[in-house]
Amino acid sequence: MSAESFDVVIIGGGPGGYVAAIRAAQLGLTVACVEKRGSLGGTCLNVGCIPSKALLQSSHKYEEARHDFAQHGVKLGGVDLDLAALMGRKDKVVSGLTKGIESLFKKNKVTYLIGAGRIAAPGGVVVAGPDGERTIAAKSIIIATGSDVTPLPGITIDEQRIVSSTGALALAAVPKHLVVIGAGVIGLELGSVWRRLGAEVTVIEFLDRALPPFDAEVSKQMQRILQKQGLAFKLSAKVTKAVAGEAGVTLTVEPAAGGPAEEIAADVVLVAIGRKPYTEGLGLDAVGVALSPKGFVIVDGHFATNVPGVYAIGDVIGGAMLAHKAEEEGIAIAEILAGQHGHVNYEAIPGVVYTWPEVATVGKSEEELKKAGIAYKVGKFPFMANSRARANDDADGFVKILADATTDRVLGAHIIGPSAGDLIAEIVLAMEFGAAAEDIARTCHAHPGLGEAVKEAALAVDGRAIHI
Ligand code: FAD
Ligand code: NAI
């Protein structure tokens, strides 16, 4: 086989693409991954999950130093913010991790091609790189080109005054007033970062609650907690205009249902109303790959598009736009192409919002179960009654487990609390195993541990929690 011919060519080096590449190589396939960004890791590592979590961690430490250390008996002379150092640390984390993926490619003998990929025909990818164009042959092509920011009609994102998440990860100064459009995951995470660093933050949301797709009880309580921290919410409202000038941005805001408009002044505006599939320049029209009306690549249960030999995974096919969902799909498609039985269980994909406290969710919400007419039991346990959370002085939130009323099988779980994003893993595993709430309830959890709240919520499904 010539160097320009591969079993699999993957377009896009994000969590979907790079994981597919490594898994396919592990399985003995020859693999090339085409990425035009100049670094691997996609949205997630470069301008998404990782830089946002780095900023969340640093800003959390700053807030703790300013407000929480004293009650632990730790006295500081004064706390100053060095925003440049904070951003520098974030950039270092990003470059370390993206370079780490290059090393993983080398270790696994994945060929990394820098450039923009275009599907010339089934079996052929044109790579436009720094040294011109070259065509490579592929038995299978995987589209893993991810997603991009959804724009708001009539509002121009300049990444200075009116920013997307990418601009909000790299502001040069703390804005006096940050207005966030969209009370979704990005709005609440990056809104929290800048509030902790000293900005006044107003979140404008079209629907009537924050985190609209989450379990309603979780949305409501999380909004209350964030309000207590200082985030202001303007719900059931829409931004119809944003004019950026020297001094800042003037927003025109109306009630979602219509009514008199008002003007709000902001120093910086963050547009965070969702993401859309990214297929620009891929040549999908020419080869006839079918897209949904919203632009997602349509695939079957084995990630195959309508064009033989062309597959797609990750954000570009829709569903939960999450890195770990893209990674699972990357592993599954590699295994399928190697003749194995790759599979993704979409019923057990966790979602985490990395505010503090964190929000974590898996499976069905109460609203979804009601809508589906499924009888369920609820077990709930507050962190106020968990000894570790109390010792840590971090006792906001609860664990809620939803189990089938007849079989006791766990159908969903929703957590607000310290390290909720890690605690949910136990329940995801339980759901993978088809466990009952009773299985979790009878599992020994170390004391004192936050995980005991999960056990107690499972006990509460049967009305027998001990510590409440
Ligand atoms: P992407 O990561 O978008 O990667 C696609 C890659 O393809 C890109 O690098 C792009 O340059 C490349 N590409 C596109 N077209 C071409 C082409 N023609 N040729 C060559 N290369 C091309 N998810 C989580 O699970 N947890 C989080 O904490 C989290 N935080 C986030 C925070 C922010 C601010 C944002 C914006 C997103 C966050 N996400 C998070 C979502 C996560 O980043 C995405 O779900 C994930 O990156 C999707 O992976 P992907 O491989 O499908 O696509
Ligand atoms: P989102 O879908 O989470 O939230 C968008 C919000 O904007 C929704 O509440 C929606 O009702 C609202 N909205 C839509 N149009 C509006 C308008 N015109 N005016 C006011 N509000 C409007 O999308 P977000 O926050 O942009 O994130 C994009 C994707 O990135 C998500 O799919 C998410 O899964 C992923 N992500 C994941 C993270 C994580 O896992 N921790 C962190 C950040 C992003």
- Residue to mutate (ligand 2; options 163, 166, 169, 185; most atoms within 8 A of CB): 185
Instruction: Using alpha carbons, select from 37, 42, 40, 47 the residue that is nearest to residue 115.
Output: 37
Q: Read off the pLDDT of residues 223-237 as tens digits, 9 standing for 90 and up.
A: 999 999 999 999 999
Distance 310 CA to ligand 2 centre (A): 29
Backbone region of residue 134 per phi and psi (left: phi > 0; alpha: psi in -120 to 50; beta: other values): beta
Indicate whether 2 pLDDT > 70: no
- Identify the pLDDT of residue 1: 40
Mean pLDDT is lowest, of 6-10, 121-125, 376-380, for 121-125
In this prediction, what percent of the chain has a pLDDT beyond 70?
99
Q: What is the pLDDT of residues 230-265, one digit of tens each?
A: 999 999 999 999 999 888 999 999 999 999 999 999
According to DSSP H, which parts of 373-463 are helical? 387-392, 420-432, 437-441, 452-461
Of ligand 2's atoms, which has the minimum distance to the CA of residue 272?
26
Evaluate whether 199 touches 174 at the Cβ level (below 8 Å): yes
* pLDDT over 90 at 317, yes or no: yes
pLDDT tens, position by position, 389-418? 999 999 999 999 999 999 999 999 999 999
For the chain, the average pLDDT equals 97
Closest CA relative to residue 5, chosen from 116, 134, 152, 156: 134
pLDDT higher than threshold 60 for residue 3 = no
* pLDDT at residue number 454: 98
Ligand 2 centroid from CA 277, angstroms: 14
By residue count, the chain amounts to 468
- The whole-number pLDDT of residue 122 equals 87
- Choice among 43-47, 152-156, 320-324 with the minimum mean pLDDT: 152-156
Give the model confidence (pLDDT) of 326-338 as tens digits: 999 999 999 999 9
> Which tens digits make up the pLDDT trace of 8-42?
999 999 999 999 999 999 999 999 999 999 999 99
Q: Give the number of the atom of ligand 2 that is nearest the alpha carbon of residue 184.
A: 4
- Which residues lie below 8 Å from residue 47, measured CB to CB, with a gap of 6+? 165, 166, 169
Residue 182, ligand 2, Cβ within 6 A: yes
What's this model's pTM, rounded to 2 decimal places?
Answer: 0.98
The answer, yes or no, to whether residue 160 has pLDDT greater than 50, is: yes
